[in-house]
Amino acid sequence: MANENDTKFMQALMLVPEELQAEFFRKNAHQIKDDSTYWNVLGTLWKLGGTVAQQELWKEMLSAPRKNSHKIMKNKERSVWRRLPNKVKAYRAINHDGEIDTAISWTLSRKIAEKFSQNGKRKVVSREFRKAEIFAYFDRRNEDEILVNLAV
């Protein structure tokens, strides 16, 4: 932690039930002084329980006007993110076709998307993204995941 204030914020966040942490973070993140801490904690929260069910909440937090947004990723993840080609093919198991244009979370692995298809109950689709649209890359849960900024 960068400072005592941010340490206290983290201690308070840890007392919140996991399913409520994202909302707690959104309501109280203004208390975090260090921008790198903001992004680091947000990345950890996404990987612990980020879900497209709360996609609008996540979009709001991911568009925070704070510096060092690359800190949402760990060093190894940033290294992969920097090496991504200018165009990337990504996959997703969808519940409905509208998700193709709105979902922020995709995987670079068709195999991973197929795991999320619930034995074929959800259709696996692919979409191409420009590197400029890719906000972050995560491999913490071996999902080869990208978060995309659809506003770019």
pLDDT level of residue 20 (50, 70, 90 thresholds):
very high
Do 73 and 137 meet the contact criterion of CB atoms below 8 Å apart? yes
Q: How far apart are CA 129 and CA 151, in angstroms?
A: 12
What single string gives the DSSP state of each residue in 92-117?
EEESSTTHHHH--EEES-HHHHHHTT
Q: How far apart are CA 135 and CA 6, in angstroms?
A: 24
pLDDT at 2: 63
pLDDT tens, residue by residue, 78-93: 999 999 999 999 999 9
| pTM given for the model | 0.90
